[in-house]
Amino acid sequence: MAQNNNLKGTVENRNDGVLVYIQGGDKDVQQFKADVESGAPPASGIRSVRITEVSKPDFADFRIVSSKSFSDEITLVSPDIAVCSDCLEDMKRQPGRLNHPFVNCTNCGPRFSIIRSLPYDRSKTTMDVFKMCGDCSEEYENVLDRRFHAQPVACLGCGPRYELITCSRTERNFSKILAELIKILEAGGTVAIKGLGGYFLACDAASQAAVSKLRQLKIRENKPFAVMFADLNAIHEYANTTPTEEQLLLSWKRPIVLIRAERSLAPGVSVGFSTIGAMLPYMPLHYLLFEHTGIKALVLTSGNFSDEPILIDDKTALDTFKESCDAVLTHNRIIHNRVDDSVTMVVGRETSVLRRSRGYVPAPVMVDMNVEGIIATGAELVNCFCVGKGNQALLSQHIGDLKNMETYIFYQESLERFIELFRVDPELYVCDLHPEYLSTKYALTKEKKLLQVQHHHAHIASCMAEHALDEKVIGVAFDGAGLGDDGNIWGGEFLISDFASYTRAVHFDYVPMPGGDMATLNPWRMAVSYLYRIYGIDMVWMDLPFLKKTDPAVLKMVLQMIDQNINTPYTSSVGRLFDAVSALTNVCTVSGFHAEAPMRLESVASGDSEAVYKFVLGKTIVVDTMIKGIVKDLITGVSVQDISLKFHNTIGAIILDVVRSLQSLTGINKVVLSGGTFQNRYLIEHTVKRLRSMDFEVYSHRRVPCNDGGIALGQIAIAAKKRESGQW
């Protein structure tokens, strides 16, 4: 840009930013300034531009000067970036890169997944084993080249290579690999493919036979599969997308976007859900694949088993998939940091990140406080941790359910890597209140200062930190479960909260959760709990389809557990209320995966009625009349579509009423919505719209998950504020 504007000077990449000296005519300098701001590379972000006039001797030309020594000040690592359009062009034209499946440049390619340490230099990445050829070196050294200092630069001659392994043989010739891969997929086969941040399982998304085979491979899994479409046109054959959704699908982050399906792919893909987890190609291989086949949509699901992390080790992947898949497509670029695909959705016109991984991590979340040296260990089920560096909260990639051994190993390893990579000197650990969370136990093993934070306070603080809200707010925290101060399981909470403290203003009335975790796995137990509370023992004779499915002996046992208070904690959880209604309406009585029952209940809601059930607001929120209303509707044959919608509207109405009464009590006008329940698109859209129409300032999550994946940000913010005020 400097050269285009006839300017002289230098540019230097420093750890506190980019320093440019510019010498030339006023007009040219102005133009340069405009160019920098408008023409920044897509994956870059300009946080601020500061201009100062200084006197300098005349520069002879414009050049890039080498980076100043590295300090601990600020350390940024780029997330992985989808292949750019220039590189796709090069794949068509540039000798040495024709159909090159590892093409990349300074604007695109692998980053976080291959970085071992800083400063970011080829020798510190898993590209260190590939010796750059003469042609690549020339590009790498040339200031004017798009590959100037592109660390993973490679070509057909010097870069990594793919291998296709089948039972009988190994193919190393890339064009033959491509041809064979396509043959297998077109014939309805399944393939394990090594991607950017892990292994994925792929098959034709239009072939039910192929999808079933893939489902068998991923035993115990009945979650919807993500689908990679060839392009936007291919998506439009199945779904209408909004401009915001398209922007997100096409962004360099290339996340999975949950869109509403108009037409379904093979039934096994979405397993009854009305949405598709859609994404577009992000690796050169994906483009090459679609270019040479009639297949327009591929299932591309993480290569793992139920709750285990996505596989990255080549040997394990080969051992695991060689027999069960028709082929394993691997390559010899090592994945150092595992990053699964990110999951997002568009709410209104805003993006909301539900699983923050590839493309997003490890970009920092900037916060308005000093979080240096604080390590937040997160929650348990959908864990992400967070390490603090200056005013950057460095949230980890999606880790998963820590109760799984492999996942817990991944957690510890990643946490240690983050601390080392970002040169953090841990001073304080902050964790959840729950003594049994492995993340709590982990924090306890560290002989450092420790703070335990209530789960729902952390949820609200997470959303506050994201929006730089340092004041008292009305916090609405709805989720599945979190340990409360009183030892009960919370999850339907209205808090008056700031970072330092909170009061629990109103909550859903406690109901028994017979069997604890067993109640979570069996939503029908929650339905029974609500019915028993309302109708007593008469409930067993009720003419409800879901009851007919339950074993009378087990039902009797469940009622005894409630009566005698055996292994029956009390909960105010809205997640469990969704479970209860999902089971009561016979939509989902047994949960096959986390939050299946609420998700299925949301999925069946339809219509545009604004009707609500009755409920009672007192010291607690009592929904007995709503449950009675639902029972009445079920018996009189009202459709589950209508019942579900009316239930959703009722939860929305409860939020509205409680928030209004809290506002009149406290004068607070800012409402913060957080917790996994707000992944429910209907609920969040409906609630935000209604609250805004009543002039509330409403804040919900955008860049950080509203589910427990966002907890660590709240923990770190609370700890930072307590430290700042000397409370800790």
Query: Under the rule (CB under 5 A), what is the footprint of Zn ion?
Result: 84, 87, 105, 107-108, 133, 136, 155, 157-158
**Residue number with CB closer to Zn ion (87 or 645):** 87
- How many positions of this chain bind Fe ion (CB under 5 A)? 3
Q: In what order do the strands lie in the sheet with 62-65?
A: 17-23, 8-14, 62-65
**Residue number with CB closer to Fe ion (283 or 683):** 683
Contact region for Fe ion (CB under 5 A) — 475-483, 593-601, 606-614, 720-728?
475-483
Q: How far is 671 from 196, CA to CA, in rounded Å? A: 39
Q: What string of H, E and C letters represents the secondary structure of 307-352?
A: CCCCCCCHHHHHHHHCCCCCEEEEECCCCCCCCCCCEEEEECCEEE
CB 321 within 8 A of CB 149: no
How far is C-alpha 691 from the geometric centre of its chain's CA atoms?
26
Shortest Å, Cβ 4 to Fe ion = 51
Query: Using CB under 5 A, which of 307, 326, 479, 579 touches Fe ion?
Result: 479
**Residue number with CB closer to Zn ion (41 or 592):** 41
Q: What distances in angstroms separate CA 525 from CA 145, 324, 439, one per listed residue? A: 64, 37, 28
**Residue number with CB closer to Zn ion (137 or 247):** 137
The entry of Fe ion, Zn ion, none near residue 221 (CB within 5 to 8 angstroms by kind) is none
CB 582 within 8 A of CB 519: no
Q: How far is 533 from 490, CA to CA, in rounded Å? A: 19
Shortest Å, Cβ 157 to Zn ion = 5
Shortest Å, Cβ 427 to Fe ion = 26
Q: How far is 666 from 651, CA to CA, in rounded Å? A: 22
- Using CB under 5 A as the binding rule, whether residue 204 contacts Fe ion is answered as no
DSSP 8-state symbol, 296? -
Q: How far is 27 from 25, CA to CA, in rounded Å? A: 6
Q: What distances in angstroms separate CA 83 from CA 89, 245, 290, one per listed residue? A: 11, 19, 15
CB 380 within 8 A of CB 438: yes
**Residue number with CB closer to Fe ion (382 or 623):** 382
Q: What distances in angstroms separate CA 99 from CA 182, 293, 542, one per listed residue? A: 15, 15, 65
Question: What is the chain's alpha carbon radius of gyration, rounded to the nearest angstrom?
Answer: 27
The entry of Fe ion, Zn ion, none near residue 361 (CB within 5 to 8 angstroms by kind) is none
Shortest Å, Cβ 419 to Fe ion = 25
Beta strands (DSSP E) in 358-472 are: 365-366, 374-376, 386-389, 392-395, 428-432, 449-453
CB 449 within 8 A of CB 428: yes
- Using CB under 5 A as the binding rule, whether residue 171 contacts Fe ion is answered as no
**Residue number with CB closer to Zn ion (130 or 422):** 130
Q: How far is 360 from 364, CA to CA, in rounded Å? A: 9
The entry of Zn ion, Fe ion, none near residue 708 (CB within 5 to 8 angstroms by kind) is Fe ion
Amino acid present at 539: M
- Using CB under 5 A as the binding rule, whether residue 708 contacts Fe ion is answered as yes
The entry of Fe ion, Zn ion, none near residue 107 (CB within 5 to 8 angstroms by kind) is Zn ion
Shortest Å, Cβ 333 to Zn ion = 14
How far is C-alpha 69 from the geometric centre of its chain's CA atoms?
35
Shortest Å, Cβ 677 to Fe ion = 9
CB 630 within 8 A of CB 671: no
**Residue number with CB closer to Fe ion (139 or 708):** 708
**Residue number with CB closer to Fe ion (401 or 708):** 708
The entry of Zn ion, Fe ion, none near residue 479 (CB within 5 to 8 angstroms by kind) is Fe ion
**Residue number with CB closer to Fe ion (228 or 433):** 433
- Using CB under 5 A as the binding rule, whether residue 493 contacts Fe ion is answered as no
- Using CB under 5 A as the binding rule, whether residue 401 contacts Fe ion is answered as no
Shortest Å, Cβ 40 to Zn ion = 15
Shortest Å, Cβ 55 to Fe ion = 57
Shortest Å, Cβ 139 to Zn ion = 8
Contact region for Fe ion (CB under 5 A) — 160-168, 282-290, 334-342, 478-486?
478-486
**Residue number with CB closer to Zn ion (85 or 727):** 85
Residue with tokens 């990140």: 353
Shortest Å, Cβ 676 to Fe ion = 5
Contact positions toward Fe ion, by CB under 5 A?
Answer: 479, 482, 708
